[in-house]
Amino acid sequence: MNKKLWSLSCFFLVILFLQPVGYRAEIHTGPEKLERKVYKIAGEQYMPPFSYVDNNGNLTGFSVELFKEIAKRENIEFKFIPMNTYKAVSLLKNGELDGILGMKYSQSIRSQYLYSDPYFMMTDTVVVPKVDAGQMRTLTDLRDRTVIMQEDEAALSMMNNVRGAEISLALNTRDAFTLLKDNRADVLLTNKWTASHYLNEMGMKSQFEMIDGLTGTSSELVFVLHPNHHKLASAVNKSIAELKKNGDYSALHEEWFYDVKDERLEELRKWLLALIVFSVLILTALSAISLWNQKLQKEVKKQTQQLKKANSMLQQKQQELTQADQFKENIFHHIYSGIITFDNQHCLTSMNRRARAILKLQYIEKPKSDDIWSLPIMRLVFKEWQSLPENNGKEEYFSKEIEFEEEGKRRSILFRVIPFEGENAEPEGYLITLADRSEERMLERKLALREKMGALGQLVAGVAHEIRNPLTTVKMFIDILPRKYEDPAYQEELLRHVPEAVRRMNRIVESLLGYSRHNEAKKEYFQLKECVQSIVSIMEPTLRKNGVELKVVVDEDTLGFADKSQIGQILLNFMINGLDAMENSEEKAMTVTAGSEGQLCYITVSDSGCGIENGALDHLFEPFYTTKSKGVGIGLSLCYQWAEENNGTVEARPLETGAEFTVKFPAAGKGENT
């Protein structure tokens, strides 16, 4: 067994050594000899050991020495000029150079210039910090990293396929290593021989590591010539072939790349050892398979029965999953809110029936993304969501209710946009919910009107009583007008009492009209006293009729800045609520206090009524919440809304007997004139 194993190992080793090492060049021979002249040849000055400038300022390296040998053989002279490749290409194109050493073969070379047979197979490597080396397995591991490299058509094409990699170009390899050392790049891409040279020269070997085979590509190194030098190209190809044939190429190669040979031998040793281990494992495995096969036959019968049982359970699970999916689908399509989901590219992924009904798309069998985004209302919602500031790079929850006219009807739809997040908090799309609140908003408007009309009825009763007194005065003077027309005393009394009675009626009517109007808040400076007195004068007859003792304390000089009409409506609502609360009270008293505290005005109404029930305080200003048997619960919510429109607040607190309501809004300062 050992002899067979050794023979097999030697056989594989011989095959490995017989594999061709170099690239055999095609020889292009020419019928004529080269003209004796000096050819100007450029070489990259920062690509050791292929070409670089030595301490004496001369260009040297493997490529340079190889072409010196070619020059001797062909009895010609090469003048080697160190320069960057990009500059050399420009000069070659203009005819100022005859050729360029050590360029990688590419399609651009083939289409524009002559090129020699390849004289070296270049392998790329990746240089990374040692702390990151363990993470590098494939090219995709270079994502989200800055890759520094010299301009190279093939390498650029390859790196452009790595998503998220940021590519930075350096003028030469030495500059690229300097940028890598200064932490201005994460990864460096170049050939492994030049990389090894600069890691040693710049003292970076302890911090950085080369990873071979990551790119999986090799490039042919060729000599590029001006298109007019066909004879020179043929001579170079002939010499390269002869040098490889007589062994001079191998000697020169060993001189410049002696460490590579050691690495190759070490690699072969590793392969041979792996082959031996593999053979032993194969023989061991064959023996184990024979024993295991017997047990396997018995186990197959057992497993077959278990598979049948598992298959039956799987079918049952599949049926349950189908039913669960159907159930979720039914919930999705029968939920009251509309639901639409999109991916990151704003493409529609799902949409329930309610959403189609709300957006009037129920007649489209399978709505598409364009059907959704063609709706102006959807574009408006998406635009407002996108305009929100981002938090930690992601939009947060967004909600907006939009009112609009459609087919002569007023509609109100509440939109909510909720982003989806996947692994690592990466966005995966978003969900939009739609709730049609058109009927709810219409009902709110009707109830608000009903509340206002109820309050207006109480106002009218007070106004009628208040107007009756000045009307009686006017009627009395009119009745005796025919008899006292020329009486000077009568005329004096007429001019004194009748105009005052008319002015009083006008003030009452204006106060009533001011309450009945409701527009957008029109803020202005006004006397707090005038605002309070206008409402008190309307409510006073009604309060007096119901046996309520009214006390008014108002700061004479306080100016407010708000919508006077809306503040008056809030005060009127407070007084009406106080009157209702004292309906069954034995002692009925109401106090209206108005003044200023710092930068705010306040108006407070307190009563001796039934007070505020336990648990009701937190809900007083909510729409449709009421403790009255005949109330609709919209009055205090309107007060809250009006106060907010005027940058103010409303507050309520229970008293030992009764309750107290306060509205606060901006003050203009005492003694300030409008």
> For residues 386 and 342, what is the distance between their CA atoms, to the nearest angstrom?
14
Domain identity same for 480 and 599: yes
pLDDT of 661 reads: 93
Does residue 129 form part of some domain? yes
**Are 424 and 490 found together in one domain?**
no
DSSP for 288-337 reads HHHHHHHHHHHHHHHHHHHHHHHHHHHHHHHHHHHHHHHHHHHHHHHSSS
CB 159 within 8 A of CB 189: yes
Domain boundary, last residue among 200, 234, 256 = 256
Q: Round to the nearest angstrom and report the end-to-end CA distance of the chain.
A: 116
The SS3 call for residue 202 is: coil
Which residues touch 429 (CB under 8 Å, ≥6 apart)?
341, 342, 343, 344, 349, 419, 420
Three-class secondary structure assignment of 411-445: EEEEEEEEEEECHHHCEEEEEEEEEECHHHHHHHH
Same domain for 462 and 381, yes or no, is no
Arithmetic mean of pLDDT, 263-269: 63
pLDDT of 267 higher than 90: no
State the number of CA atoms in the 13 A half-sphere of 136 facing the CB: 24
The CATH number of the domain holding residue 205 is 3.40.190.10
Q: Using only C-alpha atoms, what is the Rg of the chain? A: 48
Give the Cα separation of 50 and 256 in Å (integer): 9
The one-letter code for the residue type at 129 is: P
pLDDT band for position 350 (50/70/90)?
confident
The residue out of 403, 436, 469 marking a domain boundary is: 436
Query: Does residue 3 carry a pLDDT above 70?
Result: no
* CA distance readout (Å), 152 to 212, 244, 625, 673: 18, 28, 76, 80
Q: Which pLDDT tens digit goes with each residue over 190-227? A: 888 899 889 998 989 889 998 887 777 778 899 999 89
Which one of 266-280, 351-365, 595-609 scores highest in mean pLDDT? Answer: 595-609
Q: What is the pLDDT of residue 449?
A: 63
Overall domain count for the chain: 3
* Lowest-pLDDT range of 71-85, 286-300, 467-481: 467-481
Residue 374 has pLDDT above 70, yes or no: yes
Segment 75-102 shows an average pLDDT of 90
Tens digits of per-residue pLDDT, 629-667?
Answer: 665 566 777 788 888 889 999 998 888 888 999 999 999
Q: Are residues 34 and 152 in the same domain?
A: yes
Give alpha helix (H) positions in 146-223. Answer: 153-159, 173-181, 192-201
DSSP secondary-structure letter at 23? P
Residue burial 385-421, b: 16+ Cβ < 10 Å; e: rest: beeeeeeeeebeebeeeeeeeeeeeebbbebbbebee
Query: How many other β-carbons are positioned within 10 Å of the β-carbon of residue 291?
Result: 9
Write out pLDDT tens, residues 529-546.
999 998 888 888 888 888
> Is the residue at 275 inside a domain?
no
Any idea which of 18-27, 182-191, 445-454, 539-548 has the lowest mean pLDDT? Answer: 18-27
What CATH number does residue 381 fall under? 3.30.450.20
Asked if 634 contacts 622 with a C-beta cutoff of 8 angstroms, the reply is: no
Regarding whether 155 and 35 lie in a shared domain, the answer is: yes
Q: What pLDDT is recorded for position 165? A: 84
More confident residue, 362 or 435: 435
pLDDT given for residue 8 in this prediction? 44
Any idea what the CATH number is for the domain that residue 596 is in? Answer: 3.30.565.10
Residue 227 preceded by cis peptide, ω within 30: no
Residue among 413, 432, 437 nearest 369 (CA):
432
pLDDT at 670: 45
pLDDT of amino acid 486:
75
Nearest to 533 by CA among 506, 571, 480: 571
- The pLDDT-based confidence of 457 (bands split at 50, 70, 90) is low
> Are 141 and 162 within one domain?
yes
Q: How far is CA 74 from CA 81, 114, 183, 213, 662, in A?
A: 20, 19, 48, 38, 109
pLDDT band at 80 (very low <50, low <70, confident <90, very high): very high
Structural domain span for residue 551: 443-666
With bands split at pLDDT 50, 70 and 90, how would you rate the model's confidence at 603?
Answer: very high
pLDDT at position 389: 66
pLDDT in tens, 561-599: 999 888 988 898 889 888 888 888 888 999 999 999 889
Residue 554 and residue 407 share a domain: no
Confidence of residue 262 (pLDDT cuts 50, 70, 90): low
Under the banding of pLDDT at 50, 70 and 90, the label for residue 517 is low
- Same domain for 566 and 646, yes or no, is yes
Strands (E), 203-261: 208-212, 218-225
Q: Give the pLDDT score at 450.
A: 67
Query: If pLDDT is split at 50, 70 and 90, which confidence band does 258 have?
Result: low
Q: Is residue 535 part of a domain?
A: yes
The reply to whether 403 and 534 lie within a common domain is no
Contact at 8 Å (CB) between 341 and 433?
A: no
Asked if 372 and 403 sit in the same domain, the reply is yes
% of the chain with per-residue pLDDT over 70: 81
* 294: in domain: no
CA 105 to chain centre: 44
Instruction: Average the pLDDT over each of 255-264, 375-384, 469-478 and give the range with the smallest value.
Output: 255-264
- Statement: residue 377 has pLDDT above 70: yes
Is the residue at 632 inside a domain?
yes
DSSP 27: P
Q: Looking at the predicted structure, is the pLDDT value of residue 392 above 60?
A: no
**Alpha-carbon span 185 to 147, nearest angstrom:** 6
> Domain check: are 425 and 457 in the same one?
no
Q: Is the CB of residue 624 less than 8 Å from the CB of residue 633?
A: yes
Question: Does 319 fall in a domain?
Answer: no
From 256, 290, 317, the end of a domain falls on 256
Given a cut of 60, is residue 511 above it in pLDDT? no
The confidence score (pLDDT) of residue 14 equals 39
Is 228 a domain residue? yes
Please give the Cα distance from 657 to 608 (Å, whole number): 5
Task: Report pLDDT for 504.
Answer: 67
Find the Cα–Cα–Cα–Cα dihedral 277, 283, 285, 286, rounded to 10°. 160
Of 409, 418, 404, which is closest to residue 375 (Cα–Cα)? 404
Are 124 and 155 part of one and the same domain? yes
- Report the pLDDT value the prediction gives residue 474, as an integer from 0 to 100: 77
Mean pLDDT to the nearest integer, 492-521: 65
Band the pLDDT of 39: cuts 50, 70, 90: very high
